[in-house]
A and B are shown apart, each in its own frame.
Chain A
Amino acid sequence: KEVINRLRYLEAEIEDLELKEKELDQQKLWLQQSIKNITFSYVTHEDICNCFNGDTLLAIQAPCGTQLEVPIPEMGQNGQKKYQINLKSHSGPIHVLLINRE
């Protein structure tokens, strides 16, 4: 009898979880659409400089689907590690802007 009660209880719990999961899926879709609708947002160069105290900054704007590859750094001939970023777009030009406070 105890096991049967437990069974009924678990079935009810799983039904609750299923409803909760469906609700989360719907809310996620709604939020994704809502975020897409927020367009033409911009930040200023100063905003960005304030976030990365004194670094040299490259701002990259690229079409959807553009690939960014970062090879695992290898030791160069001169004993120094080489760090690389490779950008490849198949649908439009990529815009890169150098930003620093000066």
Chain B
Amino acid sequence: SCLTPRTALLYKFNGSPSKSLKDINNMIKGGGQK
């Protein structure tokens, strides 16, 4: 299925800052609240 930024958070190896991972962790911890 094609995912769009609003339905998924993205991270690129050697391309995204650590903050992107923090955003993903916060989203997961928040039960899916982006």
- The answer on a CB contact under 8 Å between A62 and B13 is yes
- The segment out of A17-25, A39-47, A48-56, A70-78 that lies at the interface is A70-78
Interface status of B15 (Cβ within 8 A of chain A): yes
Q: How large is the interface on B (under 10, 10 to 19, 20 to 34, 35 or more residues)?
A: 10 to 19
- The answer on a CB contact under 8 Å between B7 and A72 is yes
Do most interface residues of chain A lie in helix, strand or loop, or is the interface mixed?
Answer: strand
Partner of A69, one of B10, B13, B28, B31: B10
B interface with A by C-beta (< 8 Å): 3, 7-15, 24, 27-28, 31-32, 34
List 10 interface pairs A-B (beta carbons < 8 Å), by A numbering.
A63-B13, A66-B13, A69-B3, A69-B11, A70-B9, A70-B10, A70-B28, A71-B8, A72-B8, A73-B28
